[in-house]
Amino acid sequence: AQKVTQAQTEISVVEKEDVTLDCVYETRDTTYYLFWYKQPPSGELVFLIRRNSFDEQNEISGRYSWNFQKSTSSFNFTITASQVVDSAVYFCARGSGGSEKLVFGKGTKLTVNP
């Protein structure tokens, strides 16, 4: 199976610290899509970003930024100046060009302490 690996199970930081969540994926496809979702304690997964395999540009959205490197099959997510409201479980996921099926990693639980 082509896996998505999030090696960090839990991360704890103090508010205003920067934090990077790692994601490494496996794929044999030329065309694929990478995603990040946030799951707060309420349980609903919230979409954060989608990136296709042909676009290696990094992206910044407010305090969030994503670093996509095909050479290392990684799609890492950085939160700058973390806030307590960022506390959640974050999931990385991969979808292939020929299928709508998303394969999720096991998630990284981020706790931001005041």
Partner 1 sequence: EAGVVQSPRYKIIEKKQPVAFWCNPISGHNTLYWYRQNLGQGPELLIRYENEEAVDDSQLPKDRFSAERLKGVDSTLKIQPAELGDSAVYLCASSHDSGTGVEKLFFGSGTQLSVL
Site string for partner 1, 75-94 (x = CB under 8 A): ----------------x-x-
Specify the residue, 75 or 91, whose C-beta has the smaller distance to partner 1: 91
State the Cα–Cα distance between residues 78 and 20, nearest whole angstrom. Answer: 4
Q: Which parts of 1-114 are beta strand (E)?
A: 4-5, 10-14, 19-21, 24-25, 32-39, 46-52, 59-61, 64-69, 74-79, 88-96, 102-104, 108-113
3 makes contact with partner 1 (CB under 8 A): no
52 makes contact with partner 1 (CB under 8 A): yes
* Smallest gap from residue 73 Cβ to partner 1 (A): 17
Q: Please calculate the CA angle 108-34-43 and round it to the nearest 5 degrees.
A: 45
* Smallest gap from residue 41 Cβ to partner 1 (A): 11
State the Cα–Cα distance between residues 83 and 85, nearest whole angstrom. Answer: 5
Q: Tell me, by CB under 8 A, how many residues bind partner 1.
A: 27
**Which residues here bind partner 1, judged by CB under 8 A?**
4, 31-33, 35, 37, 42-47, 50, 52, 91, 93, 95-97, 99-102, 104-107
